[in-house]
Amino acid sequence: DVKVTQSSRYLVKRTGEKVFLECVQDMDHENMFWYRQDPGLGLRLIYFSYDVKMKEKGDIPEGYSVSREKKERFSLILESASTNQTSMYLCASTFRLSTDTQYFGPGTRLTVL
Amino acid sequence: AQSVTQLGSHVSVSEGALVLLRCNYSSSVPPYLFWYVQYPNQGLQLLLKYTSAATLVKGINGFEAEFKKSETSFHLTKPSAHMSDAAEYFCAVTETSYDKVIFGPGTSLSVIP
């Protein structure tokens, strides 16, 4: 059974803190994605990666960075958390193409106080 | 540019009634279309996918969707709603030359006993 796991289900941080969200997939997928989900806005792409050490900006990369040192792991970093980054963060992976099925993790609900 | 609209951010149906969730897309080339479902406190999972093989696509849990090029639509239907269908539903679009998927804003489905 395919699996995408995220390091935390719920996270509470303070403004200005550095925040790490980790995602691991066990399917040997090449592509990995970070989205944020907000009511009425659907899923918005923050960053994606199509190979180890490769990354591409999505639609809303400001205030975020990513790291992919190993194929199975994709980390999202909030360098200095702000209250407007309070959201649900979803990680996903696909085998190779955008037309492949995306497999999602359970999400991390981040609250920044 | 690709985009997805979902008419109705919230839909309520009675148990046993027809479910109809609307999705319209814009794409300059033949699209790949998806419906994903998100149950409470979970990540998204694929319901069904259109890849140009057949215009009527059957998915899991009794759902199906019909691709209508002339209407640029990909509406999701289920003949008889079940309580377990209560969830958020997302329509999404991509193209073979594209490196990411565009998600719609989502429709929350409530099923009334």
pLDDT of residue A77: 98
Percent of chain B with pLDDT over 90: 76
**AA letter at B15:** E
Mutate to test the interface with B, among A37, A98, A109 (most CBs of B within 10 A): A98
Q: Which residue has the tokens 């990513």?
A: A66
Q: How far apart are alpha carbons B105 and B10 in whole angstroms?
A: 11
Q: Is B18 on the interface with A (CB under 8 A)?
A: no
Alpha-carbon gap, residue B52 to B12, rounded angstroms: 31
- Interchain CB distance below 8 Å, A105 and B9: no
Distance (Å, rounded) from C-alpha B25 to C-alpha B6?
Answer: 9
pLDDT tens readout for residues B91-102:
999 877 777 899
pLDDT tens, position by position, A47-78: 999 999 999 999 999 999 999 999 999 999 99
Q: Using CA atoms, how far apart are residues B44 and A79, in angstroms rounded to an integer?
A: 27
pLDDT for the residue A46: 97
Mean per-residue pLDDT for A73-100?
94
Q: What gap in Å lies between CA A53 and CA B34, rounded to an integer?
A: 29
What was the pLDDT predicted at B113?
A: 94
